[in-house]
Amino acid sequence: MSLSDLRNSLPDYAKDLKLNLDSVLSDAGAQGLDGKQIRAIALASAIASRYQPLVAAIEAFAAEQLSPEELDGTRAAAAVMAMNNIYYRATHLIQNQEYGQLRAGLRMNIMANPGIDKMSFELASLAVSAINGCGACMDSHERVLRKHEISALGVQSALKIGAVVHAVAVTLEQHAA
- Reference 62, options 77, 48, 43; nearest CA is 43
Report the alpha-carbon distance of residue 165 to residue 20 in Å, rounded: 9
3-state SS class at 2: coil
Q: Point out the catalytic residue in the list 10, 46, 134, 150.
A: 134
Number of H helices, E strands in the chain: 9, 0
Residue 164: active-site member: no
What is the DSSP code (8-state) at residue 31? Answer: T
Residue 93: active-site member: no
Q: Point out the catalytic residue in the list 21, 25, 136, 137.
A: 137
Q: Is the dihedral of CA 2, 5, 11, 14 positive or negative?
A: positive
Residues 6+ apart with CB under 8 A from 112: none
101 burial via Cβ count (<10 Å: 0-12, 13-18, 19+): exposed
Residues with catalytic function: 134, 137
